[in-house]
Amino acid sequence: MKIALACDHGGLNLKKEIIKYLKENGYDYKDFGTDSFDSCDYPDYALPAAEAVANGECDKGIVVCSTGIGVSIVANKVRGVRCAHCHDCYCAEFTRRHNDSNVLALGEKVVGVGYALKIVETFLTTAFEGGRHQRRVDKISDIEKKY
């Protein structure tokens, strides 16, 4: 599984910890930046990561900023991306099981590193249930096509 990663300056510390986790657990990844603590604009990094998930270059994505809100808004503008802003493992589990979310948004200043890595683990290891939930995901896709 290949993971698209992106952050702004407010999410760089957490992204570095996520990279360590991915390496230790045998995940492949592509880092779309940033690699600096200099102030930058999160859309410049979250967008190419989300596009990599949408076009199949990466299987899933993880985007990080101070709160996780900005990067989740950006990622969800990309057709085919279902980005979930999660701050606990329950939400990470159920967004995978029920929504087949393919991008996770995290806030570095909202959740501690240890718990954030548990959220990442839950997101990456939980399968989509399909069934009645597929019908709902299909409706989301129909909405994307409309707009």
Q: Which of the residues are catalytic?
A: 65, 98
| Contacts of the segment 81-86: beta carbons below 8 A, 24+ positions apart | 81/50, 81/53, 81/54, 82/137, 82/140, 83/50, 84/123, 86/119, 86/123
For the chain, report the end-to-end CA distance as a whole number of angstroms: 30
Burial 59-88 (b: 16+ CB within 10 A, else e): ebbbbbbbbbebbbbbbbebeebbbbbbbe
51, 146 contact by CB (below 8 A) = no
- Kind and range of the H or E run holding 124: helix 113-125
**In the structure encoding, which two tokens stand for residue 15, read together?**
């992204």
